[in-house]
Amino acid sequence: MGPLLLSRRAKEAIKTGLAMAIAFAIALGMGWDKPHWAGFAVAMISLTTAGQSLNKGAMRMFGTLVAVIAAFTILSLFWQDRWPLMLALSLYVGFCTYMLTGKRLQYFWFVSAFVCLIIVVDAGNTSESAFQIAVERTQETAIGILVYALVAGLLWPQSSRGDLEAASRKLLAVQHRLYGTYRDLMAGKGNAEDSRQLRMQEVQLVHQMGSALSAATTDSYTVWEARHRWRRFRDEATDLGEALEGWRRSFPEVRDLDLATLLPNLDAVCDELEARFAEIERMLDGEAPHRQTRAIDPEVDRRAARALSHFDRAAVAVTKAQLDRLVGLTSALFDVIRDIKGFAIVPIGRPHAPAASRRGLAIDPDRLTAAIRVMATLWVAFLLWVYVDPPGHQTFVQLAGTMGMAAAMMSMVRPSTMLLPFALGCAFAGVLYVFVMPQLSGYGELALMIFGATFAIYYLFSEPRQALAKMGAIVPFIVLISIENQQTYSFARYANSAAMILLGISLVVIMNYIPTSPRPEKTFLRLFRRFFRHADFLLSRIALDWEQTKGLAGRWKTMFYRNDLWELPSKLLATGPQIDYRQFPDNTPEQVQALTASLGALTFRIIELGDMRERPQAQFLVQELIADLRAWRLAVQEQIQIWADDPAAAARQDIDIQKRVIDRLARLEARVEETFDKAGAGELSAADRENFYRLLGAFRGLSEAGIDFVRIANGINWGKWREARF
Amino acid sequence: MPLIPSEVAIAGVYFPPLLFAAILGTVAAIVTAFALNRYRLSRFFYYPPVVFLALAVIYTGLIGTFIIPV
């Protein structure tokens, strides 16, 4: 008989089931109240690799400790005063919700909010037990994490190092293919649509590699030792993705130019980049590089460039800057991978300045809305507890708050979709509680049932896309079977707890409609209008004669609008696929994706224009051209205001706007020509000219991105999206 | 014949009649909302989610008065 071969998902399900049974056994053996808290810790931290689980376990543990401190602080400040106590608690939960909707340490903030909620609300009911509740919660969480860590470490240990290396190889392979596609695109072969799938894959792989790195740093000593280099690799690879995207966006402006003449060593530069990608991939496969990087700089033929129009010279300057960036980033990636793989010890220089992206600390309005919604949910649940006393009593408040936070954390999942999995989970737990558990005798039999049920849930719902179904099954199972040392059975208790779970989720569903409809098409329209409002504000700040507000408020406002504008295309991209296209057959997912991509291009151009505005410009050029640039800017702002008020207006302007933009650019071109002719010898330095060309390039890029947007918006049926629906 | 409120017994467990009236009221509101969406009549309401809530309450009241006394 051959060895027993188990699939990875079966092994993971066995580990979780075993850890759950052991955690319950310890909690019951120690005589702790609420042994299901230990079971919860196991259920929540169980992930596919030891590193991922340990990271999540550490966040759960630290989150619990922070929550205990926060809970004691709130309780000690407002011990006898329920309204200030609730106010302080809701503010803390609101703060944590804002943090958990961000990109870092989401689970830590989630745990620190709901554990604080549990302690404060439970202790508020029976004040003498506050310390006992906090200690029990902490020790049972710790035991759950410890048990799972031991089981995961001893039984079929699964390291994340392989995942990290696989994700890195895939990421670089996709970036290499993107580079090849873009090189063809620059040479006039293919079209940008061909690369869309690759671009989306690249974004996913960057995220996947980040998660794998964080897990592998925990469960692999080799990765831990080289963690700084790996993080550098992650950052450089992310920047490379952005640089490739910026390079692609500059193609429309150089489409009609003879780049082979204007950039004489373009082929050599592209060949060198190609060779670097191949060598990096080779090293990631574990082979030594065949060659080193060669220093090469893209050169511009100045004589050929002088024959071009000013806008075309600007476009060449932008392309050269993009190529410079690619050369620098591939060289840095080559060095860092050579070091990680041990082919050479290379002193790693300073990281490259990232491309235009988020800056500083600014509030995200969507995250703030989510935080306010959770606070409102908590208040409504609290008032229901005080004045109506729903099933579950204080547990209803804890559950509604926790579910509200979970809904905020999974913002792309509609809360109403939680109802069915949790209802089925309640029914499943009910069958076990009513028909199976009364037949069991002793912990051995109970442990078998716990193991079997947990194994079944984790085996059947092992895919990441089944996470909601898994939670819907395991949470009611742990809560409703009410395991205690003195086990009693009460159908009324089961029915009340099940009703509490479903009512708590229903409250979250209702609160999700406040203040605005959560329907994806409405969210899309709301974000779309906000995009143009913010674009309008930022464009008003790029006037060459605009004095930057010295005050903190002015700077913060600009930063807020800039950061939000930067984030909006990705939010729109995530919202688009959720629209029910069967209800709106006139609009296709491809159209919406193209529309979002055109908004991404607009964002890039507006941010680029803002960055160019910050570069020093020659006083002479500013004086001469300020009126023309202002006229251009005001015309663009007027257009943007129309789009913000009525997206359908963009659709009505298709041909008209193209003609107007082309006329305006031609007029601006003539004025620039005139001004440069007027400039005396030595009045403009090479840097002045380059800065001005890049500014002009950004103006032209924005105009063309606007035309592209109008062309795509023309095909969308906006009226149907705007109609009120249930 | 006057309708007298009484609990609903299922397998020996007594449930309040309001629970069933509310469940049926909500189901009726879902069906109505579906039909209003289907025939594009929802566009005549300013904020449909509040209308849905109102429909659920009205249906629950009607069911509680005429079908399952609460």
The verdict on a CB contact (< 8 Å) between B51 and A726 is yes
Give pLDDT, residue A257.
84
Is A638 near chain B, with CB under 8 Å? Answer: no
The verdict on a CB contact (< 8 Å) between A724 and B42 is yes
Which tens digit of pLDDT belongs to each residue from A484-537?
Answer: 988 889 888 898 999 999 999 999 999 998 888 888 999 999 999 999 999 998
Q: What residues in A contact B40, CB-CB < 8 Å?
A: 723
- Mean pLDDT within A226-246: 90
Chains A–B, number of C-beta pairs less than 8 Å apart: 32
Q: What is the mean pLDDT of chain A?
A: 86
Q: What residues in A contact B9, CB-CB < 8 Å?
A: none
Q: Which of A63-77, A169-183, A617-631 has the lowest mean pLDDT?
A: A617-631
Nearest to B42 among A492, A495, A726 (CB): A726
A1 pLDDT higher than 60: no
- Residue A458 tokens, joined: 């984790």
* Interface confidence: ipTM more than 0.90: no
A140 pLDDT higher than 90: yes
Rounded alpha-carbon distances, angstroms, from residue A480 to A374, A494, A495: 25, 6, 9
Give pLDDT, residue A48.
76
Which tens digit of pLDDT belongs to each residue from A663-708?
Answer: 887 787 788 778 877 776 667 777 777 777 777 777 878 888 888 8
Percent of chain A with pLDDT over 70: 93
Q: Is the dihedral angle over the CA atoms A396, A397, A400, A406 positive or is it negative? A: negative
| DSSP letter assigned to residue A515 | S
Distance (Å) from the alpha carbon of A419 to chain B's nearest alpha carbon: 14
Nearest to B33 among A491, A513, A726 (CB): A726
- Residue A434 tokens, joined: 């009513």
Is B26 near chain A, with CB under 8 Å? Answer: no
| DSSP letter assigned to residue B14 | E
Give pLDDT, residue A700.
79
Give pLDDT, residue A217.
86
Distance (Å) from the alpha carbon of A431 to chain B's nearest alpha carbon: 14
Give pLDDT, residue A230.
92
Cα–Cα distance, A22 to A29 (Å, whole number): 10
Cα–Cα distance, A292 to A330 (Å, whole number): 12
Residue A425's pLDDT band, with cuts at 50, 70 and 90, is very high
A367 pLDDT higher than 80: yes
Which residues in chain A (566-585) have CB-CB distances under 8 A to chain B? Answer: 583
- Residue A471 tokens, joined: 């939670």
Q: Which of A246-260, A289-303, A464-478 has the lowest mean pLDDT?
A: A246-260
Give pLDDT, residue A112.
96
A457 pLDDT higher than 60: yes
Comparing alpha-carbon positions, the chain A residue that sits nearest to B45 is A724
Comparing alpha-carbon positions, the chain B residue that sits nearest to A519 is B49
The verdict on a CB contact (< 8 Å) between B42 and A725 is yes
Q: Is the dihedral angle over the CA atoms A629, A533, A607, A704 positive or is it negative? A: negative
Q: Who's near A263: CB < 8 A, 6+ residues apart?
A: A269, A298, A299, A300, A301, A316, A319, A320, A323
Distance (Å) from the alpha carbon of B43 to chain A's nearest alpha carbon: 5
Is A723 near chain B, with CB under 8 Å? Answer: yes
**Mean pLDDT: which of A371-385, A456-470, A538-552 is highest?**
A371-385
E strand map for A162-238: none
Percent of chain A with pLDDT over 90: 41
Which residues in chain A (484-543) have CB-CB distances under 8 A to chain B? Answer: 491-492, 495, 510, 513, 517
Give pLDDT, residue A222.
85
Q: What residues in A contact B51, CB-CB < 8 Å?
A: 726
Comparing alpha-carbon positions, the chain B residue that sits nearest to A725 is B42
Q: What residues in B contact A517, CB-CB < 8 Å?
A: 47-49
Cα–Cα distance, A678 to A683 (Å, whole number): 10
Which tens digit of pLDDT belongs to each residue from A191-201?
Answer: 766 777 888 88
- Mean pLDDT within A316-335: 90
Is A131 near chain B, with CB under 8 Å? Answer: no
| DSSP letter assigned to residue A78 | S
Comparing alpha-carbon positions, the chain A residue that sits nearest to B41 is A725
Which tens digit of pLDDT belongs to each residue from A611-623?
Answer: 777 776 667 777 7
In the beta sheet, which residues pair with residue B13?
B10
Q: What residues in B contact A495, CB-CB < 8 Å?
A: 13
The verdict on a CB contact (< 8 Å) between A723 and B42 is yes
Residue among A170, A157, A243 nearest A209 (CA): A170
Comparing alpha-carbon positions, the chain B residue that sits nearest to A721 is B43
Q: Who's near A306: CB < 8 A, 6+ residues apart?
A: none
Distance (Å) from the alpha carbon of B65 to chain A's nearest alpha carbon: 22
Cα–Cα distance, A596 to A458 (Å, whole number): 37
Cα–Cα distance, A577 to A592 (Å, whole number): 8
A549 pLDDT higher than 60: no
Residue A655's pLDDT band, with cuts at 50, 70 and 90, is low
CATH topology of domain A522-722: Methane Monooxygenase Hydroxylase; Chain G, domain 1 (1.20.58)
Distance (Å) from the alpha carbon of A607 to chain B's nearest alpha carbon: 36
The verdict on a CB contact (< 8 Å) between A495 and B40 is no
- Higher pLDDT pick, A97 / A341: A97
Q: What residues in A contact B34, CB-CB < 8 Å?
A: 726
- The structural domains of chain A, with segments of one domain joined by +, span 8-158+363-511, 161-340, 522-722
Is A586 near chain B, with CB under 8 Å? Answer: no
Distance (Å) from the alpha carbon of A724 to chain B's nearest alpha carbon: 5
Which tens digit of pLDDT belongs to each residue from A77-134?
Answer: 987 888 999 999 999 999 999 999 988 889 999 999 999 999 999 886 666 778 888 8
Comparing alpha-carbon positions, the chain B residue that sits nearest to A496 is B15
Instruction: Say if residues A567 and A532 touch (Cβ distance below 8 Å).
Output: no
Which tens digit of pLDDT belongs to each residue from B14-52?
Answer: 888 998 999 999 999 999 999 999 898 999 998 898 899
- Mean pLDDT within A181-199: 80
Give pLDDT, residue A92.
97
Q: What residues in B contact A724, CB-CB < 8 Å?
A: 42-48
Is B20 near chain A, with CB under 8 Å? Answer: no
User: Hey, of B30, B36, B43, which one would you mutate to test binding to chain A, going by the most A CBs within 10 A of its CB?
Assistant: B43
Is B48 near chain A, with CB under 8 Å? Answer: yes
- Mean pLDDT within A361-387: 92
Peptide bond into A157 cis (omega under 30): no
Give pLDDT, residue B7.
87
